[in-house]
Amino acid sequence: MSVLLIAEHNNKELKPFTLNASTAASQIDSDVHAVIIGHNCDEAAKALSELPLIKKVIHVEANHYENFVAENFAPVIVKLAENYSHIISSANTFGKNLMPRISAALDTSQISDIIKVIAPDTFLRPIYAGNAFATVKSKDAKKCVTIRPTSFDPCESSGGSAPIEKADPGEQFAKTKFIKREEVKSDRPELGTARVVVSGGRGMQSGDNFKLITSLADKLNAAIGASRAAVDAGYISNDHQVGQTGKVVVPDLYIAVGISGAIQHLAGMKESKVIVAINKDGEAPIFSVADYGLEADLFEAVPQFLEELNKLNTIQK
């Protein structure tokens, strides 16, 4: 049986994690179909059809799909599900919000946030904030699975030409109304996909001091992350939070500044390829996962870091 991937998009473009989810879907079965639900999302549907891994695109259009309300989306996918063995989406806030609604309607026990496909019915997933890995096997006929995007490489985004079929929209769910979305626009790389992430924690002491993180991130073309403590303290907005209940990041380089390294934070970054920790407390747990630890006052170390990076650039020139 085939796999149905739920595409994530903004009505214009595909969201990058759709590519990672496509890879995961293709590891379950090579016959991957993708459904795109939205409003005026022809361009995104076309982009989806160009992913070589996708064999067929199902495009569902209606006004009430413009804002991705799960109550509107779920019935469409439940209806399509009869032709598929697996329903797949990313385990980000889009998929986390939507998939359980589909899963319950299909009377299927969902498997969340997988990091590996072992067999079409068997998956590896982190539990306890990544402090244990569970191998789980679904006994349900239909499987609803969300995938951790950073655990799967993005697929090729061009070269394919899957047919696009239109499917009928469902009714609007009248009891939920979208009001507004406040997106933080930034020219920086996205936190979830950035090659370098610079994160600040409670040690930053104020939102104003986060400009040190910003300067370092500018220099390294990095995304900006934060610990929950820093977000709770109001130093920076929630979309920067890395951790068990925030985002999971796997950059080539993760620089943790003034972050002590609570279990919940480590859950979001400890798979990074190279981890740097700058903290004045030599006993901070962050040092247990750091490849390079610098025990120093961040307010001295970060400006020095910038200086050294400037020197490097001079040498390279």
Partner 1 sequence: MKILVAVKRVIDYNVQIRVKEDNTGVVTDNVKMSTNPPDDNAIEEAVKIKEAGKAKEVVAVSIGEEKAQETVRKALAVGADRGILVKTDNIIEPLAVSKLLQKIVEKEKPDLVFMGKQAIDDDCNQTGQMLSALLNWPQATFASKIEIKDGKLEVTREIDEGLETIEINVPAIVTCDLRLNEPRYASLPNIMKAKKKPIEQLNASDLGVDITPRIEQIKVEEPPKRKAGIKVSSVAELVQKLKNEAKVI
Stretch 160-199 residues interacting with partner 1 (CB under 8 A): 173-184, 192, 196
Contact indicator for 73, 97 with CB cutoff of 8 Å: no
Q: Is 13 in the site for partner 1 (CB under 8 A)?
A: no
- Residue 127 backbone zone (phi > 0: left; psi -120 to 50: alpha; other: beta): beta
Least distance to partner 1, CB of residue 146, Å: 9
Least distance to partner 1, CB of residue 36, Å: 18
Q: Which residues in the 84-113 window bind partner 1 by CB under 8 A?
A: 91-94, 96-105, 107-113
Of 224 and 290, nearer to partner 1 (C-beta) is: 290
| Residue 38 CB neighbours (<10 A) | 23
At position 32, the amino acid (one-letter code) is: V
Of 133 and 161, nearer to partner 1 (C-beta) is: 133
Least distance to partner 1, CB of residue 56, Å: 26
Q: Is 290 in the site for partner 1 (CB under 8 A)?
A: yes
In terms of Cα–Cα distance, which of 65, 98, 79, 67 is closest to 172? 65
Please provide residue 256's backbone torsions phi and psi, each rounded to the nearest 5 degrees: -100, 115
Query: Residue 268 to residues 187, 188, 191, 192, 227: CA-CA distances in angstroms?
Result: 23, 20, 11, 10, 9
Instruction: Give the C-alpha separation, 294 to 296, whole Å.
Output: 6
Query: Residue 221 to residues 31, 194, 259, 303: CA-CA distances in angstroms?
Result: 38, 9, 21, 16
| Residue 244 CB neighbours (<10 A) | 19
Least distance to partner 1, CB of residue 126, Å: 7
Binding mask 121-140 for partner 1 (x = CB under 8 A): -x---xxxxxxxxxxxxxxx
Of the candidates 30, 274, 281, 297, which one interacts with partner 1 according to CB under 8 A? 274
Least distance to partner 1, CB of residue 78, Å: 9
Least distance to partner 1, CB of residue 88, Å: 15
Q: Is 218 in the site for partner 1 (CB under 8 A)?
A: no
Of 31 and 190, nearer to partner 1 (C-beta) is: 190
Q: Which residues in the 230-249 window bind partner 1 by CB under 8 A?
A: 231-232, 237-239, 244-245, 247
| Residues contacting partner 1: total by CB under 8 A | 91
In terms of Cα–Cα distance, which of 221, 227, 226 is closest to 196? 221
